Amino acid sequence: MTQPVTGSVYLIGGGPGAADLLTLRAVRLLQRADIVLYDRLVSTEQLAFAPQAEKLYVGKALGENSQARQSRIHRLLVGYARAGRMVVRLKGGDPFVFGRGGEEGLELSRAKIPWELVPGISSSIAAPGIARIPVTHRGVSSAYAVFAGQSAQGIQTRDIDWEIAARIPTAIFLMGVRRLPQIVAELVAHGRSPDTPIAVIEKATTPEQAVLIGTLDDILTQMDGVSSPATIVVGPVVKLREELHSILTNPTVVSYDSLAPQTVYPFS
Ligand code: SAH
């Protein structure tokens, strides 16, 4: 008896937003995929690397809770792989950074389906980087940590160890825009000085990118109109942006698609 053919699943990190921040490996696999299951933070430009593939949006459905959604994704991944398809699961940033990639990997392993992780550029470092804020810097910050700022994925802010968040030289918060008042209050209550610099980097690497700079003391007064996705960085590294950013006049980048110079998205 011949063995049934089992397909495989690639859990792929799509990077922070710009299509040319996908890895080469991601693009090569997208070009071969039979089906792509993707999330809200994945762009049509990224999906264009898989013109031949069926595309299935697996973002949250109206009224569906996140656990029901996750179970649905697990069933789809296993189902398509068992049907012999080459499945790409494309997620924003890196699948293993607050992306539930680990849960999907566990499900596939338990179902004995071959799968691979393709790391992506996480917005946790890409968003600060694109705003010219290094997450570590000799003599300024020797460590960084990434925290889930809100409960969108079942992680409550009360689960954050605020002692650590207030002490780590660079504290990065994802999913934190709506909870910024609590984040600021907890950091200050746990000993972080109110004049600590903070940056909010919104929609990094997309045309709507915006950067907001302040201190724990005054950032909340500037947050009008800021929306998700945004990455929050707290610590003295934020100050480095002043100098790293100062010679920025008319920068150009090479676009992946055209290899023609393009103006980089301006940010104030
Ligand atoms: N796995 C992803 C994170 C998923 S959680 C990664 O590694 O990047 C989603 C959060 O990521 C958002 O709420 C936001 O905090 C951050 N994020 C995603 N895309 C972003 C972008 N383009 N700019 C700034 N932050 C972003």
Within the chain, all domains assigned CATH 3.30.950.10 are found at 124-249
98 close to ligand 1 (CB < 6 Angstrom): yes
Q: Whose CA is closest to atom 15 on ligand 1? A: 174
Q: What is the pLDDT of residues 201-233, one digit of tens each?
A: 999 999 999 999 999 999 999 888 898 999 999
Q: Which of 20, 34, 60, 239 is catalytic?
A: 60
40, 152 Cβ separation under 8 angstroms: no
What pTM does this model have? 0.90
Distance 55 CA to ligand 1 centre (A): 22
**Among 209, 231, 265, 267, residue to substitute to test ligand 1 (most atoms within 8 Å of Cβ):** 231
Distance 64 CA to ligand 1 centre (A): 21
Q: In whole angstroms, give the CA distance from residue 247 to residue 260.
A: 23
Q: Which two tokens stand for residue 2?
A: 């011949």
Q: In whole angstroms, give the CA distance from residue 77 to residue 223.
A: 39
To the question of domain 8-121 being in CATH 3.40.1010.10, the answer is: yes
Q: Whose CA is closest to atom 9 on ligand 1? A: 175
CATH architecture of the domain formed by 124-249: 2-Layer Sandwich (3.30)
Average pLDDT, the chain: 89
**160 SS3 class:** coil
Distance 159 CA to ligand 1 centre (A): 19
Within the chain, all domains assigned CATH 3.40.1010.10 are found at 8-121
Q: What is the pLDDT of residues 2-55, one digit of tens each?
A: 555 678 999 999 999 999 999 999 999 999 999 999 998 899 999 999 999 999
Point out the ligand 1 atom lying closest to the alpha carbon of residue 123.
8
The residue length of the chain stands at 268
172 close to ligand 1 (CB < 6 Angstrom): no
To the query of whether residue 175 is one of the catalytic residues in this protein, the response is yes
Q: In whole angstroms, give the CA distance from residue 217 to residue 180.
A: 12
Distance of alpha carbon 211 from its chain centroid, rounded?
A: 16
* Residue 140 pLDDT greater than 60, yes or no: yes
Q: In whole angstroms, give the CA distance from residue 247 to residue 4.
A: 60
Kindly give, in sequence order, each residue whose CB lies less than 8 Å from that of residue 239, ignoring residues fewer than 6 positions away: 197
93 close to ligand 1 (CB < 6 Angstrom): yes
Q: What is the layout of strands, in order, in the sheet containing 197-202? A: 144-148, 170-174, 230-234, 197-202, 210-215
To the query of whether residue 60 is one of the catalytic residues in this protein, the response is yes
